[in-house]
Structure 1
Amino acid sequence: MLAAVIDSDEIGERRGVSAVGAWHLVVAIGRAAWLTALAIRLFFRPAVLHLLKHDSTEAEVARGLRRLLEAGGVTTVKIGQYLAIRRDLFSALTCAELSRLLDAVPPMPGDRAAAIIAGELGSPIATWFAAFDPVPIGAASIAQVHRARLHDGTRVAVKIQRDGIVATMTADFRLIAAAAALADRLGLFSGVGARALVAEIAAFTMRETDFRIEGRTADRIAADPERGVRIPRIHWTLSTRRVLVMDLIVGVPLARVIARGGDAKRLRITPAVIAERLCEAFLRQLFVTGFFHGDPHPGNVMIQRGGGIALIDFGIFGEISGADRLTLAAYVENLALGRIEAAFDCYAALVTPAPTTDVAAYQRATQAILRGWHEAATDPATPVERQLTAYYQGLMFEVMRRHRVRLAPEHLLFWRALGLLDSTAHQLPGQFDLLAAVRRFFADIRPGIGVRGASAIGGLVDYVRLTRGEAARAVAAVARRPAIPIVARLPGGDDARAVALPLAAVALALHAAALPHGLAAGVVAGAAALVAIGGVRALWAGS
């Protein structure tokens, strides 16, 4: 299905209309004309005035873009929600405006929802459910959720996809992809491939329309025995592409606990404990398993009596490779320890500069932000809004945008999740320190990582759980890194000095250690790592 949406060979190049029919062509042309009229009225007019330095401000342009995307329907709303996380492409003001996009629509009638379930499962709804509440507990542009009870008494939540969503979004993405192809030919978006961006958005968005992917996401997170949060069980015999049935999570949304502090008392849990448990659970997803819930806002976190935490809504997820988890872990740990140059080196390994990027200027600007971030986080007098991860990561995105440096989409989701985690924890009463929580997390899960040399490498390898395949891919991944000269510095020994280690040597050691005949390969890996360490330390000493 996605191939039909984003196949670059067919974008703008289809010959004939037999595949879609004359009526579909008329509808597509009409929708294109309507969207164009909306775009001119809501967006292009204020944008042109802003470019000409007339009455329109950037805020008005951003507001016009949001209104256009809201008016365009489900596809454009989803596009806007994706663009809201692309801080490497758009200004903070524009992304903040797009984050306000409304995704609330009137619900389908209960009898229509029941009919969809019956059609998907092949028999009347009473065959599967002892009770079904026709009034949804939530409704959005793609689906709505109902309470129900199985014949064995299990209380479940039933997510039902709206009629025609896939067909509408597929047609819309073809239309938008054709416009993007034209924009690329005209060079309207220099430095950003419009067609590639649309393909990226389509792949990201269309996966939300297959509820089996969401179910598998929940199962993957639940498979970690040390996950620290409850994940609803998926009832696979009752689930399809358009219907997802899972255990009903009983609890209070964290958003309500934040708004009404009394709920925490009733649930017999302190806000500080909530923040700590939530932080531990997500740091484990981000740094240990590498597979994480991509939307941990307070509405998707449920607090249960006695302090249990449960997650819901797994439509957005992210996955970080073992090699990148290694680099991200070293980056965050070095930042938490105040090793600014080492933190930058790790961060630089994850970004892609343009040919015109002034690398030295980018490095100076980014290191200044990292230094301010660490100083603010360790100063109790710093206002809360200046302690948030999202604030400093936002500044770094602005620097990236200015210097035309790009970050991979999966890393954008990583920072979005970490920023939401930090913001959510800060909304609870008390003073939450994310960097302190990170230090505790690393100390608990990797005791002794501060020792020098190859043992530090071993700790990191164990920590990020690299598989043989991931280790092999790490070599190729590092070889493809952009030409920003970097080394990753891992915490050193008692003298607080860092041990410099080229990322390529790390990848080589990981690759060798993952080969069969582990003993011999381990010796080779250790020798390669030690030679690399010795060489770099010699260069360092002579500098």
Structure 2
Amino acid sequence: MIPHVSRLLELWRIAAHYRLDTLFPAEELPEKARHVLSLIRLHPAAWSSKERKNPLKLKLALEEMGPLAIKLGQLLSTRRDLIEPEILAQLVLLQDRVKPFDSTIAKTRIQQSLKADIDTLFARFDEQPLAAASIAQVHTAALHDGREVVVKVTRPNIRQQILQDFEILQWLGERLEKRIEAARALHLTEIIQDYRQIILNELDLTLEADNTRRMRHYFTGSSMMYVPEVYMDSYDVMVAERITGVPISEIETFDRLGMDRADLAEKGLTIFFTQVFRDNFFHADMHPGNVFVETINPANPRFIALDCAIMGELSKHDQMTVARMLLAVMNSNFMQLIQIVHQAGWIPPGTDQDALAREMRRTVGPMVSKPMDQLDFAGILVQIMDIARRFRLEIPPQLMLLLKTLVHVEGLGTDLYPQLDIWKLAKPILTEWIKSNANPVKNIKEIGQQIPDLLLGAHDLPSLMIDSLNGLKNQSAWHEKQLRELQTMRLQMEYQQKRSWMFGSIIAILLSIAVISPWYVSVVLIVLASVIAIWRIGK
């Protein structure tokens, strides 16, 4: 059954009202996409719509559709290489210029959540929002000691809509997995469930506050990135240090201040690899509205990390797998790449690994042989997903968040400095990290650090051994009982088979006699009834 039909009808109405079918020429779209456009035009809202020529119709439609649609727009806003400039200009506005909610509601939520009056909390509170996004909006204020702060407050009444939209996505994901092999290989429904939890976590600003404090700890004293301090937080509100900077998308400002964009792009990528491999805690929502650059020191600017709500972590095994895969790609060693993927358990048995290596060389090879400005990174990722589908590769869901972040990072890096050599920068970082983590001395030290826990656990070892032996004993007794019951059942079945054969033989003889001499029919029937009676008594 289709969930939340009324919500689907509402989304259809919004798409029709803003005439989203007119965004792209129909002849440039796949046939299935044209059917969707036709469906939009069938809604009565499209017949009387005056939004056809509205230059902001996509932005307004995504805003009205809700937080998940805005998130999609934010993701696409980093893809200047894929999106037409007219559409991109609308999507960029979704990074921090979503329609705000009333400041009176914001102040009420702040007072209720922090359990104090606005005048008690702040010496000054600016009612005009500084920025507004999909989940929350931000107001500027000042504490009573003079510190300038930003106050982030979540939008009211959005949780229920988010839950409804994810139920619809889950329903769509289940049907796609049944019909499309690539969706099954990607574990699409698991990805949707993971992302659902991520978005719901974003509604809890205490989690964002904890993430911000953790990242601030990792980059304390760093010359590459600054993380603002958090002063107060609750489920709906977070008060943090106000920073001075500009979004990473303001390239004209960097040029006017004489910043070295190549150096800035390299610094950004170094931060990303540091987060993924050194800290195993990476910012997973890196659209330009969340990544700022300091302007007070143009000769050596730092990045500023904002909105640490969506963060990613990998297991130690996945970290090592990703690092080795990237190094294999950089070295153009595609057979080694396949071996690494095989060791990770992503390749099903019986796969033609030579053919898979050839496909990877054809698809991934250009990534290391061409400059960034000549690559369609998103297109290459689509091809890799197609290879995963055709070879039935199992891609762990936890890596999809990293993949999404890579798309963001590549888009931001290309904007800053198209000629950036991402592989030249990444190779020494990955090589050093692998050497460090494969160092036997370090591994022995880690084992040594675990010795106290092992010794403490040894105290319980005798009782654990006794419990295990008793378990084995009980299990052995249970197996013996099961074996005896199976033997009894086998003997009964053999006995029943013999009786069935004897009964069938008697019936065949009696019927033969009846056919030969009809005078004996009555005798045959009497004997047959007797046999059946004896059979029932025997049972």
* TM-score of the pair, normalised by structure 2: 0.64
Corresponding residue for 2:211? 217
Q: Deviations over 1:403-444 (max 9, x none)?
A: 44343333222233334334323323573211111134346x
CA 60–513 in structure 1, closer or farther in 2 if over 3 Å, else same: farther
CA 370–330 in structure 1, closer or farther in 2 if over 3 Å, else same: same
SS at match of 1:203: helix
Match of 1:333 among 318, 327, 340: 327
Q: Which amino acid aligns with 1:34?
A: E
Checking the alignment, whether the CA contact within 8 Å between 2:249 and 2:415 is kept in structure 1 is: no
Q: Does 1:286 align with 2:221?
A: no
Checking the alignment, whether the CA contact within 8 Å between 2:334 and 2:357 is kept in structure 1 is: no
Measure the CA separation in 1 of the matches of 2:138 and 2:40.
30
Q: Does 1:322 align with 2:316?
A: yes
Q: Which amino acid aligns with 2:217?
A: A
Once the two structures are superposed, the pairs formed by residues 31-430 of structure 1 within 5 Å of their partners are 31-35=7-11, 57=34, 70=62, 73-77=65-69, 80=72, 103=94, 105-174=98-167, 177=170, 183=175, 187=178, 192=184, 196=190, 198-225=192-219, 228-235=224-231, 238-256=232-250, 258-265=251-258, 269-304=259-294, 305-306=296-297, 307-349=301-343, 352-353=346-347, 360-376=354-370, 382=371, 384-387=372-375, 390=378, 392-429=380-417
CA 365–420 in structure 1, closer or farther in 2 if over 3 Å, else same: same
Measure the CA separation in 2 of the matches of 1:457 and 1:392.
31
Checking the alignment, whether the CA contact within 8 Å between 1:385 and 1:391 is kept in structure 2 is: no
CA 120–67 in structure 1, closer or farther in 2 if over 3 Å, else same: closer
Query: How big is the shift at 1:163?
Result: 1.1
Checking the alignment, whether the CA contact within 8 Å between 2:67 and 2:134 is kept in structure 1 is: no
Checking the alignment, whether the CA contact within 8 Å between 2:205 and 2:237 is kept in structure 1 is: yes
CA 514–414 in structure 1, closer or farther in 2 if over 3 Å, else same: farther
Measure the CA separation in 2 of the matches of 1:510 and 1:387.
43
Measure the CA separation in 2 of the matches of 1:278 and 1:221.
15
SS at match of 1:144: strand
Size of the aligned set, in residue pairs, is: 419
CA 83–425 in structure 1, closer or farther in 2 if over 3 Å, else same: closer
Measure the CA separation in 1 of the matches of 2:163 and 2:147.
36
Checking the alignment, whether the CA contact within 8 Å between 1:328 and 1:347 is kept in structure 2 is: no
Measure the CA separation in 2 of the matches of 1:149 and 1:418.
36
Q: Which amino acid aligns with 1:70?
A: L
Query: How big is the shift at 1:336?
Result: 2.8
CA 53–110 in structure 1, closer or farther in 2 if over 3 Å, else same: closer
Checking the alignment, whether the CA contact within 8 Å between 2:312 and 2:402 is kept in structure 1 is: yes
Q: Deviations over 1:481-505 (max 9, x none)?
A: xxxxxxxxxxxxxxxxxxxxxxxxx
Corresponding residue for 2:424? 436
Measure the CA separation in 1 of the matches of 2:188 and 2:118.
45
SS at match of 2:249: helix
Identity of aligned residues (%): 22
Checking the alignment, whether the CA contact within 8 Å between 1:69 and 1:80 is kept in structure 2 is: no
SS at match of 2:153: strand
Structure 1 unaligned regions, length at least 5: 1-10, 14-27, 86-91, 377-381, 450-454, 467-508, 521-543
CA 292–406 in structure 1, closer or farther in 2 if over 3 Å, else same: same
SS at match of 1:201: helix
Match of 1:457 among 422, 427, 438: 438
SS at match of 1:407: coil
CA 110–518 in structure 1, closer or farther in 2 if over 3 Å, else same: closer
Measure the CA separation in 1 of the matches of 2:358 and 2:226.
43
Measured on the aligned residues, the alpha-carbon RMSD in Å equals: 4.8
Q: Deviations over 1:1-46 (max 9, x none)?
A: xxxxxxxxxx999xxxxxxxxxxxxxx66435434667899899x9
Corresponding residue for 2:537? none
CA 345–216 in structure 1, closer or farther in 2 if over 3 Å, else same: farther
SS at match of 2:318: helix
Query: How big is the shift at 1:184?
Result: 8.1
Checking the alignment, whether the CA contact within 8 Å between 2:373 and 2:419 is kept in structure 1 is: no
Q: Which amino acid aligns with 2:121?
A: W
Query: How big is the shift at 1:328?
Result: 1.6
Q: Deviations over 1:26-68 (max 9, x none)?
A: xx66435434667899899x9xx99x9869659969999x999
* TM-score of the pair, normalised by structure 1: 0.63
Measure the CA separation in 2 of the matches of 1:68 and 1:147.
25
Query: How big is the shift at 1:202?
Result: 1.8
Q: Deviations over 1:179-210 (max 9, x none)?
A: 767x489x556654775454333223212211
CA 284–67 in structure 1, closer or farther in 2 if over 3 Å, else same: closer
Task: State which drifts further: 31-40 or 198-207.
Answer: 31-40
SS at match of 2:304: strand
Measure the CA separation in 2 of the matches of 1:32 and 1:55.
19
Query: How big is the shift at 1:79?
Result: 7.3
